[in-house]
Homo-oligomer: A and B are copies of this chain.
Amino acid sequence: MSGQQDVASPGTVWGVGLGPGDPDLMSVRADRLIRAARNVAFFRKAGHDGRARCIVEGMLHPSVTEFRMEYPVTTEIPFTDARYGAVLSAFYADCVAHLRALSQTGEDVVVLCEGDPFFYGSFIHLHTRLAGIVPVRVVPAITGMSAAWTATGMPITWGDDVLTVLCGTLPESELARRIADSDALVVMKVGRNIAKIRQALATTDRLDDAWLVECATMPGERLMRLGDVRDCPAPYFSIVLVHGKGRRP
């Protein structure tokens, strides 16, 4: 049997929300954890620096160890394809094995998460596999949608407005049905779905009230009326908004 000095108490896997992109909009806690981290981990597409990593450029400790979790697939395989699920599951299992091994040696790891980790975040795939096995803690953050409505200079909700958050991946008829029944609206995952989202807004007579916000708080931030936008794919970090008008029941 090995001596007690070999038994480290497990390290914590921190899911740290970076917020919408401007490092100045990180929380004070996130800023402190990231600057002090000995280990950071982050997702990125193969061949890209990774947006999460870009946000913290210049903040990391010189002796930090970086664990790059490179997605093995892109959206080029439809997610309804069984291969997509199998490939991603194996990938997440590898990531989790590495994070768990680090934790077991007593090392804390900061997982850099774009936006808020528990709001449509990829950290969720690690969290579901790590929770209950190693200590996991999450630091919430400013969401991309908060940054987007702030960029428009108008409140998204007031009074008793109903806010619906939709993904542009839903079928057009489903988008239209839900848009018609909302006071305020946020559409995430715009990208290649922009023509469909436009059509759903036009059908429900809300297109004139809709805004497209690209890369809110980041270099390249753009704010446009959606009706003025051509149907080319929007950047991944785009959000469509319709502001509430202050419903009173």
A25 touches B27 (CB 8 A): yes
Indicate whether A214 reaches chain B with its CB closer than 8 angstroms: no
**In the complex, A141 Cα to B147 Cα: how many Å?**
9
| With A28-B23, A160-B169: A119-B131 Cβ-Cβ less than 8 Å | no
Indicate whether A162 reaches chain B with its CB closer than 8 angstroms: yes
**In the complex, A117 Cα to B153 Cα: how many Å?**
11
A164 touches B167 (CB 8 A): no
Indicate whether A70 reaches chain B with its CB closer than 8 angstroms: no
**In the complex, A25 Cα to B131 Cα: how many Å?**
23
| A128-144 interface (Cβ within 8 A of B) | 131, 138-143
Residues of B within 8 A of A165 (CB): 157, 162-165
| With A27-B27, A147-B140, A170-B249: A155-B19 Cβ-Cβ less than 8 Å | no
**In the complex, A140 Cα to B138 Cα: how many Å?**
20
Count of chain A residues with Cβ under 8 Å from any Cβ of B? 53
Indicate whether A31 reaches chain B with its CB closer than 8 angstroms: yes
Of B164, B169, B178, the contact of A249 (CB 8 Å cutoff): B169
B164 touches A120 (CB 8 A): no
**In the complex, A121 Cα to B156 Cα: how many Å?**
10
Indicate whether A166 reaches chain B with its CB closer than 8 angstroms: yes
Indicate whether A48 reaches chain B with its CB closer than 8 angstroms: no
Indicate whether A158 reaches chain B with its CB closer than 8 angstroms: yes
Residues of B within 8 A of A156 (CB): 118-119
**In the complex, A147 Cα to B117 Cα: how many Å?**
11
